[in-house]
């Protein structure tokens, strides 16, 4: 069995649409859409165009995620692979413990590794914060599953197929 998790398509499309709708505020501020405020106090073209540009840039990020067909996480007999963490699959025998961590509305799965240096994070920021993550209970390798297909439940169920001891 191979389990793969992806970005939530519908969520990202809705977020892109909301960002595009928010750009209307920028069009009002810069005077493209006339309002009583711009008529009485004048338009702010620079501020308005900045709002429009930022809204459309963020909308583009959400759309890119919505149509990204590459998996974010893969679980199979070889181990656990997380695109946000490393190019290498971490073998099951290298994972010593795992936990579900909640912070506000986010859910992450934290994994402790026997030899963290053998599977370093791809991102410099993740490498830099890895020690802090271990100290605060997130584990050596942390995967945010909040906005993934299957969520924490799906990923934990897939992991239990190969390592039932990790999540009890």
Give DSSP secondary structure letters for 2-66: -EEE-B-HHHHHHHHHHHHHHHHHHHHHTTSS--HHHHHH---HHHHHHHHHHHHHHHHHHHHHH
pLDDT of residue 128: 81
Query: Which uninterrupted H or E stretch holds 156?
Result: helix 151-162
The pTM assigned to this predicted structure is 0.80
Residue 56 has pLDDT above 90, yes or no: yes
Structure tokens at 86: 């490393």
- Which residues 6+ apart lie within 8 Å of 20 measured at CB? 55, 56, 59
pLDDT of residue 74: 97
Residue 134 has pLDDT above 80, yes or no: no
Q: Between 108 and 31, where is the model more confident?
A: 108
For the chain, helix, strand, coil in percent to 5 are 45, 20, 30
- Which residues 6+ apart lie within 8 Å of 12 measured at CB? 62, 63, 65, 66, 147
Cα distance between residue 25 and residue 33, in whole Å:
9
Q: What's CA 136's distance to the chain center, in Å?
A: 20
**Tens digit of pLDDT for each residue in 80-124?**
999 988 889 999 999 999 999 888 999 999 999 998 888 888 888
Q: What average pLDDT does the chain have?
A: 90
The percentage of the chain sitting over the pLDDT mark of 70, rounded to a whole number, equals 96
Q: Between 109 and 1, where is the model more confident?
A: 109
């Amino acid at each position: 069995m191979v389990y793969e998790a992806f970005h939530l398509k519908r969520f990202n499309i809705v977020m892109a649409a909301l960002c595009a709708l928010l750009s209307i505020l920028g069009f009002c501020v810069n005077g493209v859409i006339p309002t009583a405020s711009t008529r009485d106090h004048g338009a702010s073209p620079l501020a308005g165009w900045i709002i429009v540009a930022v809204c459309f840039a963020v909308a583009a990020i959400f759309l890119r995620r919505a149509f990204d067909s590459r998996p974010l996480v893969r679980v199979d007999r070889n181990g656990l692979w997380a695109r946000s963490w490393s190019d290498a699959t971490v073998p099951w025998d290298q994972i010593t413990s795992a936990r579900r961590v909640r912070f506000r509305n986010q859910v992450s799965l934290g994994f402790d590794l026997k030899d963290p240096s053998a599977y370093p994070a791809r991102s410099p920021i993740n490498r830099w914060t890895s020690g802090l993550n271990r100290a605060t209970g997130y584990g050596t390798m942390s995967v945010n599953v909040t906005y993934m297909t299957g969520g924490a439940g799906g990923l934990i169920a897939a992991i239990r197929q190969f390592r039932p001891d990790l999540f009890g």
